[in-house]
Structure 1
């Protein structure tokens, strides 16, 4: 039942990744659904309360769970942790702690310190998530996966900028249209480079058209209108899978 619970969490909390996993082979779904369900739980932890201390406690709970998985002993009971423990090895559990730690930025309203801090956030969240899924499914080149994942993560992040601003966050170091377009153009160089086939890459199925749209029409980021039609999105997923 834990696997089905993970699939349900992803379907409700991250429908784009849910569609990507459903386009993957059945064996890959057993790996990806627990990892993505974990990500849903972590991503929403800073937003379910207005009290920073409570949000920090929620994130720490997951860091402690990952430590239990890494140690290989008894893991606290939760519909995600039990199945996640079957998927992650020691290195995977330790690496995903980096993802949880990075999400502490979402708890507060501080801006990123500099470009390096922003890149680290994308690497720790989007990058580490894709890498651990890909590694569990046989990928061996971390550098290539992280580069690809960072670009895909930027597309998702820029799509969410308007919503983040509505919640009182300062999501961009430079919100001018020319700066946003430059970010998208740079990411396109990485998303267009070929990477070895792996079901974990399916989550990036919309990244390239989104980045092209942002590079051409950066004003969409502030307006919250970044996106492609459902028909085009599903056509791309069919083409990728």
Structure 2
């Protein structure tokens, strides 16, 4: 019965990732079969905490939800919570000896999502990316190959910053509609605008310059990642596979120009599948 229950839980968690984070869902399919459930557990957790503001519109109830996840992760024993993603995450942490502090830091970083405070600086943004997207990549790497993963922690940091900044650019229209500004205040000031004007759509050419600076920041981290990526062992490749789409997303955002501020751009299903397949087979070796 326990085995059947685990299969059902695994299917529920996999379906949750497929619905909430299709790019990471596709990347996990390239992992060895015996590693996929653990990756889905990590990605389901990430999707849950990244979408708290979308589901709980007030900050304090949102903080309560994040605290619930802290309690789930810190609890001893293996008693089920009744929440498939939470139970799968606890099992994954235990089976793979993952550091609970990484999850605690991820939850702490996500508190920022619940409020409308502007991102203070590039350094703060990179710290946020490091504790969210970079940490998720490193945890996935630890699941896939715990012996090799520590050697690529710095590369995970670069990869996560590139991926997260690109994701924030893709979400610019949503964030502006709800009064959020993830573009750092120092980047906005250098571009000639403010967080308040940027959110209200009053930035004009200065807002476009700020977006261009964010694209440049993402490309800086992506270039650093791609420089070191040929050294990635095949065993770790699925953890970094979402980066297969990052350059294509950045190109689309850049080509969209000012419309990227109000319209979310995307990649076709065929293009996404092709990029995943290419990098899953070849890694980041030159064509």
Taking structure 1 as the reference length, the TM-score comes to 0.90
Structure 2 match to 1:82: 87
Q: Which of 157, 160, 177 does residue 146 from structure 1 map onto?
A: 157
Structure 1 match to 2:247: 208
Q: Which of 164, 189, 193 does residue 227 from structure 2 map onto?
A: 193
Structure 1 segment 158-237 matched on structure 2, within 5 A:
158-173=169-184, 174=188, 175-177=207-209, 178-195=212-229, 196=232, 197=234, 198=236, 199-215=238-254, 218-237=257-276
Structure 1 segment 1-241 matched on structure 2, within 5 A:
1-68=8-75, 71-72=76-77, 74=79, 76-89=81-94, 91-138=98-145, 139-141=149-151, 142-173=153-184, 174=188, 175-177=207-209, 178-195=212-229, 196=232, 197=234, 198=236, 199-215=238-254, 218-241=257-280
Cα deviation 1:16-74 (Å, max 9, x = unaligned): 11111123321221220011011111111122122221111001100111111xx4554
Match of 1:170, SS state, is coil
Give the count of matched residue pairs. Answer: 239
Question: Structure 1 residues 77-86 or 183-192, which shifts more?
Answer: 183-192
Does the CA contact (< 8 Å) of 2:98 and 2:139 recur in 1? no
Does the CA contact (< 8 Å) of 2:35 and 2:143 recur in 1? no
Does the CA contact (< 8 Å) of 2:17 and 2:43 recur in 1? yes
What is the distance in 1 between the residues matched to 2:135 and 2:74? 17
Structure 1 match to 2:191: none
* CA 83–167 in structure 1, closer or farther in 2 if over 3 Å, else same: same
Structure 2 unaligned residues grouped into runs of 5+: 1-7, 189-206, 281-287
Does the CA contact (< 8 Å) of 1:46 and 1:56 recur in 2? no
Structure 1 unaligned residues grouped into runs of 5+: none
Does the CA contact (< 8 Å) of 2:172 and 2:262 recur in 1? no
What is the distance in 2 between the residues matched to 1:192 and 1:216? 22
* CA 181–82 in structure 1, closer or farther in 2 if over 3 Å, else same: closer
Larger Rg: 2
